[in-house]
Chain A
């Protein structure tokens, strides 16, 4: 138990000494992605091999233990998910990719015992093996600030975070700053909410601090509802203490003594790591009564979501913590005035809280030196879809789209051509080749009718049908509409019906105008952000890909060749030998003909199941 600031300083010195004393380290990526790919098997195998070789391997840093031969650690997401299982070898800083349990023997034998690099396990760029992060374009082109420690320390132990300078900002806040000073620093840094809205965090905090009511709450929004974004998951799993530290500072600055973290149900590992982190912080006296003897007390609880996207909205989220149906309510009163249990509440996103300790430690000036004038700092994105380098990245706000896609992302996958990138999930929009120079920041995106959202970037290639993308999001939003207000409840249903008809080849003249009209009405009259932005994916695709909609409606054709119902399956009479195999497999009897003469498919009966395609021994059947 650390009772004073001096205790913490002394403990940090011990932790740093212990970390320094570790002669060699293997950090196995234990983010959700790498674990899915089997990283825990690699971890177990490494441990087994080291034991067999009589190496003294530590799996948990302990300040007073002896010096191990090798420290084996489970880190948070190292970011390069596509290349998992990832290993980081210290002190060299080497990165091994696609590691399998079968590689472990060699890693210990060569790298750990002899200090040799294994070229085969390195990432290769243009035929050359890249040893360290600085040589790998995916890493070299990023600016890791908020996420700097993610993947570099063991995510499970507070000692590691403290050794890396963790909780220094809390010390500074508690003993060198008062509430006003902290809020002023955050305001001057112009930190804007990373949950999508971009609201100024300092302003929010000062509004809460000003309330007459003295019972206040701090709430962290870890609902990460955008289906295709996982940066908040990365923070919660990889640097849970950094987020907790931000929340404790927020509590101190706004006079709150209790906080809640609302985590998406689909992130069981994030819940587990946060629970562990809270327990360790309590045991060390960094959470609880009279933190470090400062007189300030703060407690944190975790609430798990239960599968409702709308609970990411502030008032729905607080209702859910209260044990109610997660439905948004009319504002005002706003969350800063009457939030959780009717009390003034600071509600911020995971990444927002994780940025706070850095700003307190290094100052507002420093933070504003990164990013743009109106959107300072960095933003984490998850880069997915048909791009070469998928993973979790961090770049300065204002980085042009092309640098993210073709720089960090390494461009398209083999053989694919860029068509669009979806940003902002179900509230977002599609950006195209015309937007390659667009700086990714709150205001530039708003100007083109998009939004940064939570930071999900899904890259689409030429085989993706944009009408289907619009239908996909509308289907999502319609299912997730809480049903409280009619424009959203009914409007999204009507829009979905129209989109479903269009992709099924039953689009009609006037559908596009109807979609646009419904979009205007829903956007103008829905109660909460879910409804207000529901039409955005449709409107943005109509704007950029109108001809694709028109081809579906008027020509009953899907230019991307993806809509099943619009596919046409035909038999090439030149290639058909009349063997009749296809007619036998057709489940609906759509194929007919005389043996040894070309067969034909009746397009009206055909259900486009594709059974005949694979059956034809002469590749005479074609799909278009």
Chain B
């Protein structure tokens, strides 16, 4: 295990939710918000703090779709594939982004940890389908071309940063 976790960060999060087993999901959510994934070092630390087994925490973390044990990119594209977006052709958008970044369902994140492309079921903006989000900012009425443009502008932004 090479990943180190900052214990002050974890302690702050644990204190905010209370040091009890029932808070484990909320704690994992905040940790993931901080690191954009769950580093392996989190598990032994939380197990001790919450007095539950490491495997118990691991089983919770793997059950829920939103937890990721692998690092995600700086920009996370979530293409909505809820019903409303699906019938308004969300899949071609997904395919375009994956093709441009050489990603797939199995490999959602670029090697340089810049971009992640994944799907999500309904963001509550179905009236403007198809939608996608980049780091939680919602982009409505998308097309494959608009998605490419968006991707290019993010690449530009990175270059200039």
- Please give the residue numbers on chain A whose beta carbons come within 8 Å of chain B beta carbons, in ascending order: 32-33, 35-37, 81-82, 84, 224-230, 233, 265-268, 270, 303-304, 306-309, 320-327, 382-386, 390-392, 422, 425, 456, 458, 460, 464, 469, 472-473, 476, 482
Contact = CB atoms under 8 A, between A and B. Distances in A.
Most buried by A among B28, B64, B125, B129: B125
B83 A425 contact: yes
A320 B26 CA distance: 10
B25 A303 contact: yes
B128 A36 contact: yes
Given A32-B123, A36-B139, A392-B127, A306 B29 contact: yes
B5 interface: no
B79 interface: no
A385 B25 contact: no
Given A37-B140, A308-B63, A327-B63, 18 more contacts: A33-B124, A36-B131, A226-B83, A228-B84, A268-B136, A270-B124, A303-B26, A306-B28, A306-B67, A324-B60, A326-B64, A382-B84, A383-B127, A385-B87, A385-B129, A456-B126, A458-B83, A458-B84
A320 B127 contact: no
A229 B85 CA distance: 11
A321 B122 contact: no
A229 B127 CA distance: 10
Nearest to B59: A325
A472 B90 CA distance: 12
Contacts of A82: 127-128
B98 to A, nearest CB: 15
A323 B22 contact: yes
Interface string B67-99: 100000000000001111011100000000000
B127 A33 contact: yes
A322 B125 contact: no
B138 A35 contact: yes
B136 to A, nearest CB: 6
Contact of A386 (B22, B63, B87, B122): B87
A324 B59 CA distance: 9
A266 B64 contact: no
Contacts of A464: 87
B83 A228 contact: yes
B23 interface: yes
27 contacts: A32-B138, A33-B126, A36-B128, A37-B140, A82-B128, A224-B124, A226-B122, A228-B84, A229-B122, A229-B126, A230-B122, A230-B124, A230-B125, A230-B127, A270-B124, A304-B26, A308-B64, A308-B65, A323-B21, A323-B23, A382-B84, A382-B127, A386-B87, A390-B128, A391-B127, A422-B83, A458-B87
Interface size class of B (residues with CB under 8 A): 35 or more
A392 B128 CA distance: 12
Contact of A384 (B28, B29, B127): B127
Contacts of B120: 266
Among B28, B60, B88, B123, the most chain A Cβ lie within 10 Å of the Cβ of B123
Given A308-B63, A322-B22, A472 B127 contact: no
Contacts of B26: 303-304
Contact of B129 (A233, A327, A384, A472): A384
A425 B122 CA distance: 11
A81 B60 CA distance: 36
Nearest to B122: A227
Contact of B60 (A309, A325, A425): A325
B128 A321 contact: no
Contact of A320 (B25, B123, B128): B25
Given A36-B140, A322-B22, A81 B125 contact: yes
Interface in B11-43: 20-26, 28-29
B153 interface: no
A384 B21 contact: no
B25 A323 contact: yes
B7 interface: no
Interface string B127-158: 11101000010111000000000000000000
A484 B81 CA distance: 25
A37 B139 CA distance: 7
Contacts of B123: 32, 266
A325 B63 contact: yes
B114 interface: no
A382 B129 CA distance: 12
B123 to A, nearest CB: 5
Contacts of B20: 323
Contact of A306 (B66, B84, B128): B66
B121 interface: yes
Nearest to B138: A36
Contact of B24 (A35, A228, A323): A323
A325 B20 CA distance: 16
Contacts of B128: 33, 36-37, 81-82, 84, 390
A557 to B, nearest CB: 21
Nearest to A391: B127
A335 B100 CA distance: 49
Most A CB atoms within 10 A — which of B23, B125, B126? B126
Nearest to B80: A227
Contacts of A36: 125, 128, 131, 138-140
A230 B127 CA distance: 9
A467 to B, nearest CB: 14
Nearest to A426: B83
Interface in B93-125: 120-125
